[in-house]
Chains A and B, each alone.
Chain A
Amino acid sequence: MSDLLANLGLGLSVALSLQNVVFCFLGVLLGTLIGVLPGVGPVATIAMLLPITATFDSPATAMIMLAGIYYGAQYGGSTTAILMNMPGEPSSSVTAIDGYKLARKGRAGPALATAAIGSFFAGTIATIVIAVAAPPLARYALKFGPPEYFSLMVMGLICAVALAHGSVIKALGMVILGLLFGLVGADIFAGVDRFTFGIRELTDGLNFAAVAVGIFGIAEILRNLENERARDAMVTKITGLMPTKDDLKRIAAPILRGTALGSLLGVLPGGGSILAAFAAYTVEKRVSKTPEEFGQGAIQGVAGPESANNAGAQTSFIPMLTLGVPTNPVLAVMMGAMILQGIIPGPQVITRNADLFWGVIASMWIGNAMLVILNLPLIGLWVRLLTIPYYVLFPAIIAFAAIGSYSIASNEYDLYALALFGGLGYILVRLGCEPAPFLLGFVLGPQMEEHLRRALIISRGDWSVFLTRPLSATLLGIAAVVLLIVFVPQIARKRATVFQED
């Protein structure tokens, strides 16, 4: 315990130096801005800033700023998800479901404030989790082999079906459509191209940001254009910027549950924090006494996933800092930044560069506090964005979405994807099919296939590994229970009555 306090003290002394506070602020500010621009992601931004950070005299300063960009972007991403139905990051696609509905009801302010409060609380807890439990959590992540990941993804996809409202068949269809689009590109096991029609630019698959922004955001704009009279009423009236006492009461428990889920799942490489956001949403909908509000603007549907994704974003640093293994592309780029600073990421960082390790952790808490201070006053400004006339707002959104998608890989096919999925998204909305399960299928599908095939290669084609390994069996068990709940007639009837009114 005294060790922990000494370590946190060391971290705070590093993070609170004037230089580091300034760069932490610059990081979260920049992160918020790029998060708000649909499509411009933290990977591209951090990569562009690498040469600048390489000239910093202290590696801790460089990492503190880059980390600030990362979780600042997570935060900013939810701002556009709520205001414009434009999730820039996979995890904020969950926030868009209820957050955007709230915004349309004139409650963008409370939704944004909830996101800020939830993120700050989750960030605080996750900081403590990293400080106390980083090494054991990293060891727990290593227990996840290919079979466990496969079972985890199955559970995630089943949750996606469960969280959708309306027809289960449509939700399943969306998941499968997402899986199919996820297959585009070279098969990593055989190197054979699939569904690329001989187009080289497609060998690495479709770009997530382009697909997500297209299917959520562009589709939403198209939908708004269809009825000229309804267009100006994008947001009817704005009722209050801050959450009411009742709101606060309703979000307390979701924030706690979201934080717990996010902290645990964030440690896992791959889709940890996106799974956490989806899982948190499913949990909230399940425990809610009024599940019919979900999808129509339930503030719990913002609080849970937002807390989960922020907690997950932070604990995803654990494998990189303690094992030297990045769990997502952003962290891979940050590892590059460490190498440019002459620090080799790996298990030795925690002892050999203790000031860096603890400094970055302490800065996360400071950065999260800054995000709240920065964003609460900005809520009024963001909300006023919604009053911008559509003939200015729509072209601007499309321009930013296009710039953002193209900047990721300078690949013009990402622009075609943006347009194509905008059109597809519109058709799906008209058909009453939801984009969220589609997106989860798209993100998790390729990973699920990869882990399935890898597990079977290692087991020599023996399918029983999924049931004989306890962790994997448990995860599949949970998936089975969720599936059962979805299909149990009584509940199914309740679902039907709830959504017949649509």
Chain B
Amino acid sequence: MKRSLIAAVFAAVSLIAGGAAAQQQFPSRPITLIVPFAAGGPTDTVGRVIAEAMSRDLGQQVVVENVGGAGGTTGAARVANAPKDGYTILLWHIGMATSDTLYRRLPYQTLNSFAHIGLVTEVPMTIIGRPRLPASDLNGLIDYVKRNAATVTMANAGVGSASHLCGMLFMSQIQQAVTTVPYPGTGPAMTDILGDQVDFMCDQTTTTTPQIQTGSVKAYLVTSPNRLEQIPNVKTAKEQGMNFELGIWHGVWAPAGTPQPVVDRLVRALQFALGERPVAQRFAALATSPSKKEEATPAALEAKVRSEIARWKPLIQAAGVYAD
């Protein structure tokens, strides 16, 4: 009884003192990292890998919470409206920039509702084809697509997904529209590629690497500037005479108005996490690598979001595809 009374007094005192102490002692309680997609997907995996490493630097648990829905915008809205104290942060990807055009009504302002923390990683993409597709390299694929324009099919994981964006870019590059077949996620799309039901797809190495390694699918190009050591036989676009670079960059955000010292602390924790060996190893298993220290900064992330909004706006508007 006595002990619980003392505890209650302590709790009350620390509540009162908490306001003042929060800024020096951030973080004094667990932090929630919102991943705006379902658990188990590629973005979730990236989130969990860095959450674990950031926890070690911050001395407090960084707990991943999956708030899926509306292409990631539901989770982002949750963070935009969260208290501006740094205890609720967001891990999202390129969708932060593309949703600005894809959604005509967003419950937040892409550039004004968030405090940028930094870039996390940039996952390369690959174009893969069904096992019996009669094309052996990129030019063969382009040729095949143009000759069979009426029947060829390209899979994607729905409006706004990485595979959808990459597909749009590919069609605009080769100046040829293709029938797209949307799926509710990359998993089912991959099943239909493996089963020769659809012709080709462009997706993150996270999902395609194992299939490419075992030769279960045909691989035409990787969108990174250099070949990847996990799939050394897959040529880059440049090697095959095409200008096609694209990465699914991921970043961390806090709500706009978060105090500068808290932002700085989060930036340091992110940079610590990205420098950890286990993080690099887990990312390597996904055929990607942690962003460099100078990219894991608010300035670099903000520049990225701005330039990517500008890059995708005309493409999305030309395609006339909106998510709402």
Contact = CB atoms under 8 A, between A and B. Distances in A.
A189 B182 contact: yes
Given A51-B64, A142-B195, A191 B324 contact: yes
Nearest to B164: A191
Interface string A337-370: 1011011111110000000000000000000000
B39 A333 contact: yes
A142 B194 contact: yes
A409 interface: yes
Interface of A: 43, 46-47, 50-51, 54, 141-146, 186, 188-193, 200-201, 203-204, 269-270, 319, 323-326, 329, 332-337, 339-340, 342-348, 409-411, 450, 454, 457-458, 460
27 contacts: A47-B40, A50-B48, A50-B64, A54-B48, A141-B195, A145-B195, A145-B197, A186-B323, A200-B74, A200-B77, A201-B74, A203-B74, A323-B194, A323-B216, A324-B210, A325-B188, A333-B39, A336-B39, A339-B285, A339-B286, A340-B49, A340-B282, A344-B210, A344-B285, A344-B286, A346-B211, A346-B216
Contacts of B52: 51, 54
B183 A342 contact: no
B66 A47 contact: yes
Given A454-B181, A457-B181, A339 B45 contact: yes
A452 B148 CA distance: 23
Interface residues of B, number: 58
Interface string B183-215: 111011011101111100000000001110110
Contacts of B209: 344, 346
B302 interface: no
A332 B282 contact: no
A346 B70 CA distance: 28
B210 to A, nearest CB: 3
A336 B213 contact: no
Contact of A325 (B66, B187, B198): B187
Most chain A CB within a 10 A radius of its CB, from B49, B65, B211 = B211
B224 to A, nearest CB: 18
A269 B183 contact: no
B158 A410 contact: no
Contacts of A204: 68-70
A323 B191 contact: yes
Contacts of A326: 40, 187
A61 B272 CA distance: 29
Given A339-B285, A344-B285, A346-B213, A409 B40 contact: no
Nearest to B186: A325
B38 A332 contact: yes
